[in-house]
Structure 1
Amino acid sequence: MFDNRVLVVGDVMLDRHIHGHVRRISPEAPVPVVSLIGEVRTPGGAGNVAAGLAGLGCQAGLCGLVGSDAEGELLRETLAAKGIAHLELVERPELATVSKTRILSEAHQQLLRLDRDGDRAHFAAFEEDVLARVLPLIESQSAVVLADYEKGVITPKVARSIIAECRRLGVPCVVDPKKVDFAPYAGATIVTPNLLEAERTIGRPLPDDEAAGRAAEELREALGTDAMLITRGPQGMTLALPDAIYHIPSQTRDVSDVTGAGDTVVAVLAACLGAEWPIADACRIANTAAGIAVGRPGTYVVQTGELQAAWGGLSPKILRPQDAALQLAEARRRGRRVVFTNGCFDILHAGHLSCLEGAKRLGDLLVVGLNSDASVRGLKGPTRPVIRESDRASLLAGLACVDVVVLFDDPTPVALIEAFEPDVLVKGGDYTLDQIAGADLVLARGGRVIALPLVPGLSTTAILDRKAG
C-alpha cells in the first residue's frame, strides 16, 4: 500500500506479554497463581509505531536510546522480526532499556504490569547524540514521526530541532505527544493528542464535538501547526485544519484491546502524509486502521491487505492469506486456539450457521477458508456459485462467530491449512478422517480433527432443488 521512507524518533521500549492459566489462589497470599503458557515479546512505544509502518509496506527507520543490557538485545531482535529496515539506536551503558511486562490470564485479562522505566534525566542527557543521528537523515525521508512517551528521548530541544529541520526541507512531521506543555511541538505538520492529553493541556473537559472542535482549533493556532487531531476513542476523532473542523465517527465494532491504538493512528498518518495524501483523507484512513487495531487482542500491527479491504468498505475480517497467516501466528503466540473450517457457503443457511457456531466453540479464533468463484465452478459445475465470492465473504464476515475469512482458488484448502497451522480442523458432514483435506497436517502437529453433524434437510443443493421443483 505504501513504500515510502519514514523515520520514527522517540522512546523505544520492549513489551513482554506473559500468558498463563489461572486455576487457583496462592496459599501464600491472596493472589492468583499463573501457570505459564508462553511469552510474547514485541516492540513498544516508538518501536510499535515503526512496526506499524513496516506492516503498511513502508521502509521504516527508528532512532531511540537503549541500554547495553539483555533487554536491549531482545528489543533489537523484536524490531528485526517486525521488518524495521533501518535501526539508528543509540546504545549507552549508563542507560536501562525501557520495558513493560504484562502478565495475562488465558482470557487475556491483565493481572499485573511491571515497568522498567529507567531515569528520564539520564536519557535526556544524550539529546545531542540523538540529534547527531537524526538530523542528517531527514532529507531522505518522506515523513518523520516524533513518538514522545515522556521517557526522556524527545526533549524540548530534540523536538524543536527536528521539527525545524522538517519544515526547512518540506518533510511532513507527525507528533504523538505526552508532554503537558505542547510548546515544543510548535510548527509540526500535525499533533495527535488523545482526549485526556488534550483536556490536560487545554485545562478543561471536552465533553462533546463542539468542545473538542474549539480546543483542537485553539491548540492548532497556538502551535502554528498545519493540523491538530484529537483522538477520542469511541467518539471518533476531531480534526482542526485552517479552513475547517471535521468530526470523524469511530469505526470500532467490538473492542478487544485499546493498547497501541494511538501508535496505529500515527503510523498510518505518517505513511499517508509521506505519500502526499490530503490531511483529512489521511485522518479518515487512520481512523479505519485504529478500528481494526482495537478489535484485536494485544498490541496489533495492522497489515496492508486488511486496511485496503476496510478502506474499500469490506469487513476487516476478510484477509489475504499472507495477512491472515501473520495474524494467526501472533494469536498462537499469545496462547489462543485457532480453529479452521472451509467450504463454498453458497446460499448461507441455518445449517452453515450451526456448523460455524459449533466450530467456534472449539477454540478462540475461527478461520473460514472460502472457495472462490473459480473453485466453486470447478467443484459444482458451471451454474454455481449462485452468490459471488465477494458477497459470500461479506456474509460470513458478518457472523459474530467468524473471526477471519480467506478466499482460496484450489479445489482443497490444504495450502491454507499448511500456512495457518490450526489447532483444530473442523468439517461439517459425515466425513471419515481420511476424507478431510489437511487432516494429516493438523494431526501431525498434535491438533484435533472433528466432523460436526449436519442439520438434516439443510443444504444449498437441497434448497436449490426445492426452488427448481
Structure 2
Amino acid sequence: MTGHQPIVVVGDLLLDEDVAGDATRLAPDAPVPVVEVAGERRRPGGAGLAAALAARDGREVVLVTALGTDPASEAVRGMLPPGVRLAELPLDGCLPVKSRVLADGQPLVRVDRGGGVPGSPGPAVHRALREARAVLVADYGQGTVAVLRQALADAARRVPVVWDPHPRGRPPVGGARLVTPNEREARWFCGEREREGDDSLRAHSRRGALLAERWEALSVAVTLGCRGAVLARAHCDDPLYVPVAAGLDGDPCGAGDCFAATAATVLADGGLPPEAVGQATEAASAFIAAGGPASLAPRAALSAARPPAPVAESGDVQGLIASVRAEGGTVVAAGGCFDLLHAGHVQFLENARRTGDCLIVCVNSDASVRRLKGPGRPFNPAADRTRVLAGLGCVDAVVVFDEDTPEALLRRLRPDVWVKGGDYSVRDLPEAAALREWGAQTLVLPYLDGRSTTELARRAACASP
C-alpha cells in the first residue's frame, strides 16, 4: 500500500442542526422551557462527521454515501471539508435531518425528519473501495451499508475495516478488524433490552468477546464514555481496558464517530487494535473536552459558540508567561517535530532552558510533520509527543501548532528568546522576520552528534526480522 491510498468512509450521511440558547423560564401554556435562541449551527452528521474527523490531520478521505437533489443534500455537499471527496450513490427521497434544541449546552429535544432509499452504486464507488487503505463503516440504518454489503465483505479480506454499528443497521461483515459499539449498543446486540444489569468491566469484556465471536470480527471495542473502553476478542480471557486519562465534561455527541475515525487512521498506518483503541480513547476524550461537534464548525456558524483554540496546550501557557514576566524573567521558546525523542533532543532542550527562566516547546502537529517529512511520518502522534516532552524536567509547557512554520504561534506567545536546533542559519529561518518585530533574540543550538530521528528509524528498520 502507498501513502496516497485514502481512508474510505462508508455509511449514511445526515444533516445535523443545533439550535442553541438559554432557558430561564417555562412557557405559560405548558410546563416546558422557553429557549431564547442565541445561534444556530448546521454540519454534516453520521458518516459525514466520521469522514470530517478522519480528515482532520490532512489525510485523503473518500466518503461513500447516498445523496439526492433535495435542499439538505445540497447543503451537506457544501459543508464537507476540503479533504473529503465524495463517491455518491443516488438517493430516492430526502437526506435525513437531525435537529437538536439545546439550552445552556444541554439537549432538550431532538427532531428527526426526512429519509430516502439509496440506489445502486456506480463504478466510482467500487473503485474507491478497491483503492482504500482502510475502510470505516458508519452504519446508521438508512440503507447505504446494506447496498454495499458484498463489496465491504470483499474489502475486509484486503484491508483493515472498522465498523461502527447501530441497532437499526446491519451486523458487521465477517473479518472486520475492529467493531466499536458503545455500552448501550453492546447490551442491545447481546439481547439485553434493559439498561440495568452487570456494569462491571468483566461484563463489558464478556459482551465484547461474545459479539466478536458472533460477528466473526478480529476484535470488539466496547466504549464506556467517561470510563474509557474495553477491547475484547472471541475465545479470549485477557481483555484490554483503556481508561480515560482525564474527566470528561462536554457535549458527547459525535464522540463515537471520533473514536471510530481515529481507530481507522491508526489501523491504516499499520497499527494493531490495542494501539488503535488507546489512541481512539484519547482522541474521543479530547474531542468532548474541546466542545464536541462544535469544535469542527466554522467560527461564524454559531455566534454564541466559542471558536476552537488554534493550538493544543499543556498547562496555562499565557499564565506561565505572565508570571515569569511579572518577576522580570526571560521567556524561552523552542521548536521542532520531536518525533522520536532521543538524547540529542534532551540535550538541546536542557540547553535551551538554561538561556531563560521558562521553556515553552512548540511542536509540529501530525499534519504539519507529514507535510514536512512525507508519508509515514510522524512515527508518534502529537498527543504522545506532547506527553513525553511535558514529562521532561526542563520543559515548562508544550504547544502544538498546525502550520508549516511556528510564525503565527510565536506572534501569540511573543517569547524573548527563540531557540532552534541543528545547522540552521538565523537569517534563513522563515519565522525570523516575525521575531524581529518585538525584538526577540534567535539562537541556534547544535544537536548531539550522531543522534537523529531518521537514523534511529533506519537502524530500527535494519534490525527488524
TM over 0.5: yes
Could you say if the C-alpha distance between residues 343 and 218 of structure 1 is closer, same or farther in structure 2, counting changes exceeding 3 Å?
Answer: closer
Q: How does 1:184-199 map to 2 (within 5 A)?
A: 184-199=172-187
Q: Distance in 1 between matches of 2:202 and 2:113?
A: 39
Shift of 1:332: 6.0
Q: In 2, are the aligned partners of 1:144 and 1:171 still within 8 Å (CA)?
A: yes
Pick one of 262, 267, 276 that aligns with 2:270: 276
Q: In 2, are the aligned partners of 1:14 and 1:98 still within 8 Å (CA)?
A: yes
Q: Distance in 2 between matches of 1:14 and 1:66?
A: 11
Could you say if the C-alpha distance between residues 183 and 253 of structure 1 is closer, same or farther in structure 2, counting changes exceeding 3 Å?
Answer: closer
Pick one of 122, 141, 145 that aligns with 1:150: 141
Shift of 1:34: 3.4
Say whether residues 1:220 and 2:221 are aligned partners: no
Q: Distance in 1 between matches of 2:409 and 2:232?
A: 51
Match of 1:378 in 2: none
Pick one of 300, 306, 323 that aligns with 1:336: 306
Q: How does 1:69-148 map to 2 (within 5 A)?
A: 69-79=70-80, 82-92=81-91, 94-105=92-103, 107-118=104-115, 122-123=116-117, 126=119, 129-130=120-121, 133-148=124-139
Match of 1:10 in 2: 11
Q: Distance in 2 between matches of 1:374 and 1:251?
A: 27
Deviations 1:24-80 (A, max 9, x none): 44445444443433221111000000000111322111121233211111111111x
Q: How does 1:163-178 map to 2 (within 5 A)?
A: 163-168=152-157, 170-178=158-166
Q: How does 1:249-288 map to 2 (within 5 A)?
A: 249-288=243-282
Q: How does 1:406-421 map to 2 (within 5 A)?
A: none
Q: Distance in 1 between matches of 2:62 and 2:408?
A: 42
Consecutive unaligned residues of structure 1, counting only runs of 5 or more, are 302-325, 353-369, 376-380, 398-403, 418-436, 439-469
Pick one of 295, 316, 333 that aligns with 1:373: 333
Say whether residues 1:386 and 2:357 are aligned partners: yes
3-state DSSP class of the match of 1:217?
helix
3-state DSSP class of the match of 1:137?
helix
Match of 2:190 in 1: 202
3-state DSSP class of the match of 1:98?
strand
Give the RMSD, CA atoms, in angstroms: 4.1
Could you say if the C-alpha distance between residues 14 and 6 of structure 1 is closer, same or farther in structure 2, counting changes exceeding 3 Å?
Answer: same
3-state DSSP class of the match of 1:130?
coil
Q: In 1, are the aligned partners of 2:141 and 2:170 still within 8 Å (CA)?
A: no
Deviations 1:273-317 (A, max 9, x none): 11111121111101110111121324256xxxxxxxxxxxxxxxx
Could you say if the C-alpha distance between residues 405 and 371 of structure 1 is closer, same or farther in structure 2, counting changes exceeding 3 Å?
Answer: farther
3-state DSSP class of the match of 1:171?
coil
Q: Distance in 2 between matches of 1:89 and 1:190?
A: 25
Q: Distance in 2 between matches of 1:413 and 1:189?
A: 42
Q: Distance in 2 between matches of 1:271 and 1:97?
A: 27
Q: Distance in 2 between matches of 1:15 and 1:196?
A: 22
Aligned residues: 351
Shift of 1:98: 0.7
Q: How does 1:294-305 map to 2 (within 5 A)?
A: 294-299=288-293
Letter aligned with residue 290 of structure 2: R
Letter aligned with residue 140 of structure 2: Y
Q: In 2, are the aligned partners of 1:6 and 1:61 still within 8 Å (CA)?
A: yes
Shift of 1:145: 1.3
Shift of 1:386: 2.0
Pick one of 151, 165, 180 that aligns with 1:162: 151
Could you say if the C-alpha distance between residues 3 and 30 of structure 1 is closer, same or farther in structure 2, counting changes exceeding 3 Å?
Answer: farther
Match of 2:61 in 1: 60
Deviations 1:63-120 (A, max 9, x none): 21233211111111111xx22431123343x311111112223x212233221142xx
3-state DSSP class of the match of 1:175?
strand
Shift of 1:409: 7.3
Q: In 2, are the aligned partners of 1:143 and 1:274 still within 8 Å (CA)?
A: yes
Match of 1:304 in 2: none
Could you say if the C-alpha distance between residues 58 and 103 of structure 1 is closer, same or farther in structure 2, counting changes exceeding 3 Å?
Answer: same
Say whether residues 1:50 and 2:68 are aligned partners: no
Q: In 2, are the aligned partners of 1:3 and 1:57 still within 8 Å (CA)?
A: no
Q: In 2, are the aligned partners of 1:257 and 1:297 still within 8 Å (CA)?
A: yes
Shift of 1:261: 0.7
Could you say if the C-alpha distance between residues 347 and 247 of structure 1 is closer, same or farther in structure 2, counting changes exceeding 3 Å?
Answer: same
Deviations 1:145-190 (A, max 9, x none): 11111122222x633x13321134x111111111378645332222
Q: In 2, are the aligned partners of 1:260 and 1:300 still within 8 Å (CA)?
A: no
Q: In 1, are the aligned partners of 2:44 and 2:76 still within 8 Å (CA)?
A: yes
Q: In 2, are the aligned partners of 1:14 and 1:99 still within 8 Å (CA)?
A: yes
Consecutive unaligned residues of structure 2, counting only runs of 5 or more, are 311-315, 336-351, 363-385, 391-397, 415-436, 439-465
Q: Distance in 2 between matches of 1:185 and 1:411?
A: 46
Q: In 2, are the aligned partners of 1:17 and 1:102 still within 8 Å (CA)?
A: yes
Could you say if the C-alpha distance between residues 347 and 223 of structure 1 is closer, same or farther in structure 2, counting changes exceeding 3 Å?
Answer: same
Deviations 1:399-437 (A, max 9, x none): xxxxx96789779975689xxxxxxxxxxxxxxxxxxx9
Could you say if the C-alpha distance between residues 410 and 212 of structure 1 is closer, same or farther in structure 2, counting changes exceeding 3 Å?
Answer: closer
Shift of 1:218: 2.1
3-state DSSP class of the match of 2:282?
helix
